[in-house]
Structures are given as structure tokens and as C-alpha cells.
Structure 1
Amino acid sequence: MLAADVGGTKTLLGLFECGARRPRPLLVRSYPTAAFASFTDILMAFAADAGGPLRVDAAGVGAAGPVVDRRARLTNIVWDISAHEIGAHLGIERAGLLNDLTAIATSADVLTPEELAPLQAGTRRADGNAAVIAAGTGLGVAFLHRLGGRLHPMASEGGHADFAPRTDREIELLRMLRAEYGRAEVEHVLSGPGLVHVHRFTHGPEACAALRQVAPDDRAAAISQAAMTVQCPACVETLAIFVGVYGAEAGNLAVRGLATAGVYLGGGIAPKILPLLRSATFLDAFRDKGAMSELVSQVPVHVIVNAEAGLLGAAVYAQALLGSRARE
């Protein structure tokens, strides 16, 4: 099987074989998405790295954008990906396309305890739903609904929902974002570029030594590092706002999806700021839900620390396309 996780920054591609609990990786490679003109070009580069033509029975591709009629337009890069074109290129009928967060959500049931870092133990209900939220190049959201005893991922573009500030300081941030964009989305705060927006808000016209001679693509990481090492008080406030908004939005998902089976934080940012996500800043915002506070206080919350969870989920999806239960 072939699996892919196509993001705005990088694309992971892998060859897998079926497994009883989850697919087993045979070869995995990473490529800078913007360095290629199309997904087909990345497939050809992967084939070259694999040593020849790709001979697979099924393909599952997670893409960072809405999937409509088996086609996706990536949100953060000008690309279209078509399941039909993938199948034609590989010479197979079983080719499927899913939203990247749906891919991460698809991996949730097969992740091991070592691939999850707990933020709130809670009590996982076997009859409950679940949710995934992932801040990275953008902000992704997915729900998992319990049907017939199993969790079924449902795509969402919730990262583009309205940003709902909770504090006076966040209201000021909203005004800045609205002045720049006309409308403030959650992704304008909860993402790598969003962290840079918050940094501009907290610093105003003041220069920040943490960003001196830092390339634009590396600014979010530099801000986080300066905050976690307390090099810059304004950077500390920047990350505190980010973490508080992250907690509030994760709690909103728990309420909206009645996610009593768990909320998962995916994406590249959460594992890097894990100590702050375990702080009261995140958890208080997560639990502060009025009449629903007691309910969300019992929701298990974990950070997915497997950086290839999206690729794994795409492989799980590809295995399902084969219509067979895997063999050991």
C-alpha cells in the first residue's frame, strides 16, 4: 500500500504492508511540498527513491484542505490533488483522498500509549465520541463519531471558524486581526503563522531580539524557544496567549462533539510546547465551560507525539480500501 500525508510545509510518503492491528511501514520519505509543482511530481521522486516504479494495491492520501468529489485543494499551497489522478498514475482502482486531520483521526484508535502524552487523564467512555485538533502550518480539526461501536472520522474545516476571544487581552488581539483581515479566524491565532501574529500583537512596535536574523519560516520556533527559556517577557506572554486559546478551542471541540472518548492534540507545535500544555493556562481554559465544566473535566486529553500519525492514518485508510482484515 502507498500512504501520503500532504501538508503545506512537508509531504510524507510511505510504503506499507497490511498488519493485524495497524499497517507496518516498509519505506518512508519526507519531501518539501513547495519544492514540487504537483503531487504527481512528488510521487515520481518517491518512486526514484524507492528504486523503481511503485507497485501497490491501494493508496490513501491525506491532504491539508477540504475534500469534495474526491478532489482536494490545499489550503496553504496552490495545489489540487485528485483521487482519480492518483489512481491513474499508479494504475490502481483503490485510491482514496481524505482531509489531513481525518487522516490523523483515523490513526487515533491504533496509536500506542507511547505515542500519546497525557494532559488530562479523565475517564474514557467506551460509548463516547472523540475529537482531534492540530496546530501546525494551519489549524486542523476533525471529529470521530461513535457508530456501531466504532469511531468514524468526520472531516471538518473548523480551523477557519471565527476566533472567539475570552479575555480583554484577547479582545484586543481580535481587533488587530480584524483590522488586518476583516475577519479573525481561529487559525489566525492557532498555527505557526498565528503565533507570529500574536507575537506582533504583544510586541507592538518594539523589536524582539529573539527574531533577529531569523528566517520567516523559523520565526514560530524561535518565539516558542524564547518564551520557554524566558528570554523575552513579551514572548512569554505570546506563548501564554497561544496556549490559553489552544486550551479553550480544544475544550470547545469537547463540548461540540461530546468527545467523552477523548480529545487529541496533533500537529507539529503541541509536542514542542508540552510542558506549557500541561500547565494551568491550557487546562483551566479547556475546563472553563460553564455548565459543561464538569463534563469536560472528565474528558481524556492527549498530545499525539508520533510525528507520522497522519501518514499512519492514511495507511489505515488504504488498508480499509483493500477490504481485507490484515494478516500478521
Structure 2
Amino acid sequence: MALLLAGDIGGTKTILRLVERTVNGEMNALYEFRYPSGEFPDLVPIVQHFLTEAAIELNFAPEPEKACFAIAGPVVNNTAKLTNLPWVLDAKRLEQELGISRVSLINDFVAVGYGVCGLDAEDLHTLQVGKPRQYDPIAVIGAGTGLGNCFAIPEANGVKVFSSEGGHGDFAPRSELEFQLLKYLLAKHDIARISIERVVSGQGIVSIYQFLRDRKFAAESAEVGEIIKKWESEIGKSEKTVDPGATIAKAAMEKCDRLSEQTMQMFVEAYGAVAGNMAVSLLPYGGLYIAGGIAAKILPLIQEGSFMRAFTHKGRMDSLLEMIPVRLVLNDHVGLIGAAVCAASL
């Protein structure tokens, strides 16, 4: 038995989980707690506070042997500077100050890549069974605040996950309506190119809605319109009081607002096409996983079929993409699971 410490470290919140790894490789969560990151000067006091609380809860003083922290931001040589916090993290310093023999820092979406390999069947929804190959690459894509990408290569004792910045590639329109969307965004932002994540992300949902609204595709409902106007008035503020993307998605799933329905149709099709582009590039017969904060919340829309039609619509490559297993991640703690998987491999 080994004790592991896993963490999901963000600018707003820090989630820590103490995990017991049994001799047969099973991972059992012993204790978990969430902390407001901004109330602490560094990660070290959070971990110390967590271990003290865990000792009270578990009736023994836990001494993790290894730890892995998933960081919302770039990680270079096991160091990281968080975007929205004055924290500078270094794995070696954390080892010394926390008394943990091995500490690793990884990007939060790399943690998702490790996490998908540690999920149970009930944590996944199969969109396409395909013809899985055990030793072939695995791809992960996830729309949330941005658009995360990573891929994994199977190894003798698990997988090796590699980060990617594929979400910053160019948005490639596939229809006249998407070409109009591209031109709209170029003019609106006064920039020379549009990245994929400007369309396939939470912000992308809002951008598509604004495009359709401004093009008078359909009348704007009072309920959704009020949320959009409130959000637009808060642009530039660090804290937002509304979530327009969630409001649009909810209205679309309830089929109570035509503008929202068309917005989500465009979004889902663009998401499927981008996932298909990743699949064409990597041929991940080990599986392509749809993660991120949006997909599981709009599963009914994805199940309608346009996502997979856009995914496989690659001309002469259609038959190859039909062989790739496609699974949607339902467990929103997949990154924390991945941090534990990574810690176990240290």
C-alpha cells in the first residue's frame, strides 16, 4: 500500500485528494477537500492544512510518498507560475518543504490525459464503438474555458501523455454560414486570424450566438437576451455574475429558444469537426476521448448525431474515422484522477 497526494490547482480553487494505492494497483480515495486558492500565499500551507485535517478525519497522520499537482497553466521543467495567482511553484521546493520524496507538476489537461486511462465504464459514454487497438495512440480533446488537447502513447506500465496546443490552430470553416462567422469574428476583434478555441469553447458558444443574433437569424428571447446583455456589460471585469454559455445551452436543450438552438447546432458540429481533424492527424485507435467542462453538460445535443457526422465527414478518410472508438467523459474529476495516476508512476 502507498499513500499518494493528488491536486487540481487553479486560480480560483485548489482541490486536494489523498489516495491509497493497493498492492494490486487499485486507487481508493481516502479524503478530499476544496480550498479557495486566493486565500493562501502558496500551495505549501494549503497542503499542510489539508494533511492536518485529513489526520483528524482518518485517525492517523498521513505521510504521502508521492504527489502530483495538475496546474492550470504551462509547466516547464517541473516549475509553474499560475496565471491568476502570485504563486511560483517548483517541484523540488515542494518536496523539501512538504517532506514528500517525489513531487511532479503537470499541466491540467495532461492530467486529464492520464485520468481517462483510470476511468470506470460508468464514467464514460460511448459515441462510437469503433475497432479499438490496445497499443495504439489515445487522443483527448476538451472544450471548456478554452480548447484543450493532448495525446497518449501506451507504455509497458501505463501511458505517457504529451501536451498539445492544438486549440490555437486556425478555425477552418466548412460551410457558407461558418465562413460568415469567420468574417464576423475577424471584423469584431480586428485581428488577422481566428483560432479554433474562439469557436469551440465556452466563449465560442457566446460568439456564435452573437453572430446569429446580429445577423437577425431569429428573434432574441427576453430571458436569454437579458443574460447576454448582463454578460456583455461585465466584459473586462475579473468576476462575472452570469454564465451566458450555460444559459444558451440550457435553452437549446429545452428547445424553447430558436436562436439558442441554432447556436448549439453550429457549436456541436464545429466541435465534432475539430475532434475529427485531431483524429485524422493522430489515428488514435486506442480511443478518442471528449473531455472538458462542456461536453457532459450538453450530452443530449451531442447524442442527436450531428457531432459524429461532422467527426467522420472527412472524404476519403471516412472509413478510417469510423474505426476510432469515441468516448465522452462524464466524470468531472478526471483531472484529479489523472494526477493520482501520474503520482503512482513517479
Is the pair's TM-score, using the shorter chain for normalization, greater than 0.5? yes
Cα distance change, pair 59–262 in 1 and its aligned pair in 2 (3 A): same
Q: Which runs of 5+ in 2 are unaligned?
A: 231-239
What's 1:29 paired with?
Answer: 33
CA distance in 2, matches of 1:147, 1:51: 36
Q: Which moved more, 1:297-306 or 1:149-158?
A: 149-158
CA displacement at 1:76 relative to structure 2: 6.9
- Counterparts of 1:1-328 in structure 2, within 5 Å, are 1-7=4-10, 10-19=13-22, 20-33=24-37, 38-40=42-44, 42-43=46-47, 46-47=50-51, 49-50=53-54, 55-74=63-82, 80-147=88-155, 150-179=158-187, 180=189, 182=191, 183-204=193-214, 208=221, 209-213=223-227, 216-321=241-346
Q: For 2:200 and 2:83, how far apart are their aligned partners in 1?
A: 15
Shift of 1:216: 4.5
The residue matched to 1:5 in structure 2 has which SS? strand
- After TM superposition, the structure 1 stretch with the greater mean CA deviation from structure 2, 183-192 or 240-249, is 183-192
Kept in 2, the 8 Å contact 1:8–1:137? The answer is: no
SS of the residue 2:117 aligns to: helix
Residue 109 of structure 1: how far off its partner (Å): 2.3
Evaluate the alpha carbon distance shift between residue 113 and residue 5 of structure 1 in structure 2; reply closer, same or farther with a 3 A threshold. same
What is the aligned residue count?
321
User: Any conservation in 1 of the 2:128–2:325 contact (CA below 8 Å)?
Assistant: yes
Q: TM-score, normalised by structure 1?
A: 0.88
> Which residue identity is paired with 1:273?
I
- 1:51-81 Cα distance to aligned partner (Å, 9 max, x none): 6787322110112222211123446777543
Q: 1:173 to 1:99 in 2, by over 3 A?
A: same
Give the Å deviation of 1:14.
0.7
Partner Cα distance (2:275, 2:152) in 1: 14
Q: Provide the TM-score with structure 2 as the length reference.
A: 0.83
CA contact (8 A) 1:22 1:110 kept: no
The 8 Å contact of residues 121 and 301 in structure 1, kept in 2 or not, is answered as yes
Q: CA deviation at 1:133?
A: 0.7
How far did residue 151 of structure 1 move?
3.4
Report the Cα distance in structure 1 between the residues aligned to 2:85 and 2:184, rounded to whole angstroms.
25
Residue of structure 1 in register with 2:236 after alignment? none
Residues 39 and 4 from structure 1, CA distance in 2 versus in 1: closer, same or farther, beyond 3 angstroms? same
Report which stretch shifted further, 309-318 or 210-219: 210-219
Cα separation, 2, equivalents of 1:211 and 1:59: 46
C-alpha separation between the residues in 1 aligned to 2:86 and 2:151? 26
Aligned-residue sequence identity (percent) comes to: 39
